[in-house]
Amino acid sequence: MRLLIVEDEKELADGLALLFERSGYTVNICYDGLSGLDEILSGVYDLVILDIMLPGKDGISVLKTARGQGCKTQVIMLTAKSETMDKVQGLDCGADDYLTKPFDATELLARVRARIRGRDYSESEELTFGDISLSRARQEMSCRDRKVKLGHKEYELMEYLLVNGGHILTKDMLISRVWDPEEEPEYNHLEVYISFLRKKLRFIKAKVSIVTTKNVGYSLEEPPR
């Protein structure tokens, strides 16, 4: 997998590159927006990590130009912690995810893995994990002959958990995937929807369950054999 990091803080960019290379990725770095845009438009990368504050051309402009020229590469944007408008603009311009600075590098690694796994499922009409299936067209979850409809946020949450089945997704990852920044979601909002999904899993008598990892997040798990 080929990653591009567009980040002007050299120490941060080099540290992230080392982390991803140790995890088996091929990594290239650009330290300014203009060279970053050229690399993005080359189309050779599986995912781009793009900072907003860049010399030459800011990240929002880079992304807007790339999307305008038909680039479909997945992009994770790095934003300042307090800048909600940056997150909104980034998502509006076509970012697939965002992470606020400062962040734990392992959190970014988890998000990259989740995005790439999700891309591999993107053409599937029906997703499966364990004994459950999820219909994209009907936003419906089923187990054998039992089915249940999901609300919009329930569906988005379950899809993300299912695509990353067996892997822990942090609370922040789940929130940023399902809620718009303008909604100012809190952890208790996520917990309510996790509760809804657990009830629906019980309703269809699924063996698969949503497991809590204390102080971290949630994962979709099959029962031990």
User: What pLDDT, in 10s, does the model give residues 77-136?
Assistant: 998 756 667 777 878 888 988 888 888 888 898 889 888 876 655 556 788 999 999 998
Question: Strand, coil or helix: what is 131?
Answer: coil
Q: Please state, in angstroms and rounded to a whole number, the distance separating the CA atoms of residues 13 and 156.
A: 31
Sign of CA dihedral 16, 22, 24, 30: positive
Same domain for 102 and 42 = yes
Last residue in a domain, options 96, 120, 144: 120
Same domain for 53 and 151 = no
Using an 8 Å Cβ cutoff, are 30 and 5 in contact? Answer: yes
Whole-number pLDDT of residue 106: 83
Same domain for 155 and 187 = yes
Same domain for 109 and 34 = yes
CATH of residue 165's domain is 1.10.10.10
Same domain for 146 and 111 = no
Number of structural domains, the chain?
Answer: 2
Q: Please state, in angstroms and rounded to a whole number, the distance separating the CA atoms of residues 174 and 220.
A: 13
Residue range(s) defining the domain that contains residue 161: 126-221
Q: Please state, in angstroms and rounded to a whole number, the distance separating the CA atoms of residues 130 and 143.
A: 9
Whole-number pLDDT of residue 52: 93
Contacts of 126 (CB under 8 A, 6+ apart): 133, 134, 135, 136
Using an 8 Å Cβ cutoff, are 122 and 177 in contact? Answer: no
Last residue in a domain, options 120, 154, 185: 120
List the beta strands (DSSP E) in 56-181: 74-80, 97-101, 126-129, 132-135, 140-143, 146-149, 169-170
Whole-number pLDDT of residue 113: 85
Q: pTM to 2 decimals?
A: 0.65
CA nearest neighbour of 48 among 62, 172, 162, 58: 62
Whole-number pLDDT of residue 88: 78
Using an 8 Å Cβ cutoff, are 57 and 89 in contact? Answer: no
Same domain for 113 and 18 = yes
* Ranges of residues in the chain whose predicted pLDDT is under 50: none
Same domain for 161 and 199 = yes
Same domain for 132 and 72 = no
Cis peptide leading into 102, omega within 30 of 0?
yes
CB atoms within 10 A of CB 25: 18
